[in-house]
Amino acid sequence: MTSAAPDAPAATACPATSDLVHAARREPVGRTPVWFMRQAGRSLPEYRAVREGIPMLESCRRPDLVTEITLQPVRRHGVDAAIFFSDIVVPLAAVGVDLDIVPGTGPVVARPFRTRADLDRLPELTPDHVPDITEAVRLLVAELGETPLIGFSGAPFTLASYLVEGGPSRNHEHTKSLMHGDPQLWNDLCERLAQISGMFLRVQASAGASVVQLFDSWVGALPVSDYVRFVQPHSAVALAAVADLGVPRIHFGVGTGELLPAMGAAGAEVVGVDFRVSLTDAVARLGPAYAVQGNLDPALLFAPWDVIEARVREIVAEGIAAPGHIFNLGHGVLPEVDPDVLTRITALVHEISVR
């Protein structure tokens, strides 16, 4: 890219100058930016209509469909960012893992990973495995204009848990057994998954995503000592895969109040906070080196509006005192939520947070 001439006009608004990117970098913003995890789909009737009869994995690999689904909540809610429509197991399927996303259950792996021989079924991810992802991101960036696109990938621990358990798990008994019983195999598995996670983020950022999020659904099942020993190094590798691209990184996990400082130390600029910890406490634990994201309880979206409004005001006030704040839920949008509630929350956050 050539440099602008000295007398070139001022640059027009673009994702890099958006409030969301500024907040992620702990820079001044005009108002608190807001988006919602799992906003792409889930509660929207237009999402259900466009996806009718189309399996989840296929939906995530069709650029036209990914583009439409990703744009739907931006059009409806007026949020400050689009989150790339995908699933955490998409890159695993792309490298040949035999899995499916079963409605009502989630990802199910046909042959769980339990032995060293299973590593042979997990090659490195390259951009050639996911040309559709590159195409979808480019289509989205062109459509979104000044609105940032957030790239998305599952974290190594959560991907490993799905592979080892064979699907969602309440206790992660096979995962923890492997982690402690054969730490070398565990680390070798997570090393491969870190490459896959990191490359999936890099593909999206290279195609134009302005921010990326590493999502660790199950890591809250671990104590800090296990996280630091068995997980943090691999999450750090995944996050480092985009370090040279200059995009802010968000690191989010569920039930991770005790892990927040260690998650921040893995390399993100923004640490996501779930609804079990207040933003005030999260900032005290993290210190001034990180922006925070969160953290309205998704279940409160079913409460009366005056309850929701009061809690939103509290969170915005807590966030303004943080080094940088992106308003979000403390986990994902539940499918039964009235979409109009999300629209009202977006408008409220914008209204009460103007600097």
Rounded Cα distance, 253 and 345, in Å = 23
Q: What is the 3-state secondary structure (H, E, C) of 295-355?
A: EECHHHHHCCHHHHHHHHHHHHHHHHCCCCEEEEECCCCCCCCCHHHHHHHHHHHHHHCCC
Catalytic residues: 38, 42, 51, 87, 162
3-state secondary structure (DSSP) of residue 77: helix
- Whole-number pLDDT of residue 220: 96
Find, among 102, 92, 226, the residue nearest to 172 by Cα. 226
Confidence of residue 221 (pLDDT cuts 50, 70, 90): very high
- Whole-number pLDDT of residue 5: 34
pLDDT tens digits along 177-198: 999 999 999 999 999 999 999 9
List the CATH code of the domain at 15-352.
Answer: 3.20.20.210
- Whole-number pLDDT of residue 12: 54
How distant is the alpha carbon of residue 73 from its chain centre? 16
pLDDT tens digits along 28-79: 999 999 999 998 877 899 999 999 999 999 999 999 999 999 999 999 999 9
- Whole-number pLDDT of residue 40: 86
How distant is the alpha carbon of residue 269 from its chain centre? 13
Range of lowest pLDDT (5-9, 222-226, 312-316, 336-340)? 5-9
Query: What are the residues whose beta carbons fall under 8 Å from the beta carbon of 122, sequence distance 6 or more?
Result: 95, 97, 113, 163, 189, 192, 193, 196
How distant is the alpha carbon of residue 45 from its chain centre? 23
CB 114 within 8 A of CB 164: yes
Range of lowest pLDDT (7-21, 203-217, 230-244, 271-285)? 7-21
Residue 79 in tokens: 């949020």
- Whole-number pLDDT of residue 10: 38
